Amino acid sequence: MSADRERAVTEAFVALATSLADGADVVDMLSGLAADTTRLLDVDSTGLLLADHRGVLHVVAASSEATRTLEVFQVQRAQGPCLDCYRSGRPVNVSDLSAEAARWPQFAAAAAEAGFASVHALPMRLRDQVLGTVGLFGTTVGALGEDDLRLGQALAYVAAIALVQEKAAQDQALITAQLQTALDSRVVLEQAKGVLAQRSGLDMEPAFAVLRGYARDHNLRLTEVARAVVARDLPAELLLAHAAARDERHRPSPS
């Protein structure tokens, strides 16, 4: 492992541990994890799927907020490597998706249309319970290396711990409630992205960045900001003005 990569891996775990200790917003934290995973591993996109109490998978966070990409992750509620991984509790490695069109016709078509050629699905496990999966998507054919898979799996386990706080880990009803809270937060986030996208003409990805930027700069939880936007207690125009002012400040020295 190069020194740069080692530092980046350390930073990813430190970021997770810090947000856990601070009681950070779970969807915000998992979005950060998806971005870190994509940067650290040899993949192009990461989607975190979480099961509801009926065992149906839902997108809870992703490295891309583009609707078409989220749809590729979400279609796996019906079929796909992440669903198989969730049901078996074991990794599902697909180095060439085009060879699996018969196995997952609907998923393979959606993934191909979005430009994906390979998928590695890793279980998010808490003791003997699988909470969901981490889907690692590549735009080229090929298997991930052993080191990448191990690192991905370690991040997936930490994500599971982040989702279920320790005190709740023995109590199935509390686990279910905490997972449902994460899923509900995701729904509100999608609605808030839509409000901002509609008011501004922005795509979903920059609309998400506006929400997250506002939350961070005001030291608010992402979910609370999203909820206020959807309730129209917090005008979309205010967030957009804040983002514009932020861009202005950062223009002279882009980071």
Partner 1 sequence: MIIGHLDVDAAEALVRLRAYAFSHGLSASQAAWAIVERRVSLAEEESFQVRPDSDGRPA
Binding of partner 1 at residue 230 (CB under 8 A)? yes
Reduced to 3 states (helix: H, G, I; strand: E, B; else coil), residue 108 is helix
Taking CB under 8 A as the criterion, the residue among 176, 191, 205, 206 binding partner 1 is 191
Q: Where in 233-252 is the site for partner 1 (CB under 8 A)?
A: 236
Binding of partner 1 at residue 67 (CB under 8 A)? yes
DSSP state, 1? -
Stretch of 41-49, 156-164, 170-178, 229-237 contacting partner 1, by CB under 8 A:
229-237
Binding of partner 1 at residue 194 (CB under 8 A)? yes
- Please say whether the beta carbons of 115 and 108 come within 8 A: no
Report in angstroms how near the CB of residue 202 gets to partner 1 at its nearest.
Answer: 11
Q: Which of 157, 155, 152 is nearest to 125 (CA)?
A: 157
Reduced to 3 states (helix: H, G, I; strand: E, B; else coil), residue 80 is coil
Binding of partner 1 at residue 181 (CB under 8 A)? no
Binding of partner 1 at residue 195 (CB under 8 A)? yes
Q: Which residue, 154 or 206, is less far from partner 1 as judged by CB? A: 206
- Residues 208 and 196: their CA atoms lie apart, in Å, by 8
Stretch of 39-47, 100-108, 188-196, 216-224 contacting partner 1, by CB under 8 A:
188-196
- Residues 56 and 250: their CA atoms lie apart, in Å, by 42
Taking CB under 8 A as the criterion, the residue among 54, 127, 167, 232 binding partner 1 is 232
- Residues 139 and 118: their CA atoms lie apart, in Å, by 7
- Please say whether the beta carbons of 31 and 62 come within 8 A: yes
Q: What angle do CA 53, 127, 176 make, to 5 degrees?
A: 20
Stretch of 34-42, 108-116, 137-145, 230-238 contacting partner 1, by CB under 8 A:
230-238
3-state secondary structure 199-218: HHCCCHHHHHHHHHHHHHHC
Stretch of 50-58, 104-112, 189-197, 217-225 contacting partner 1, by CB under 8 A:
189-197
Give the tokens for residue 109: 């078509």
Binding of partner 1 at residue 198 (CB under 8 A)? yes
Report in angstroms how near the CB of residue 17 gets to partner 1 at its nearest.
Answer: 34
Give residues in contact with partner 1 (CB under 8 A).
67, 191, 194-199, 204, 230-232, 236
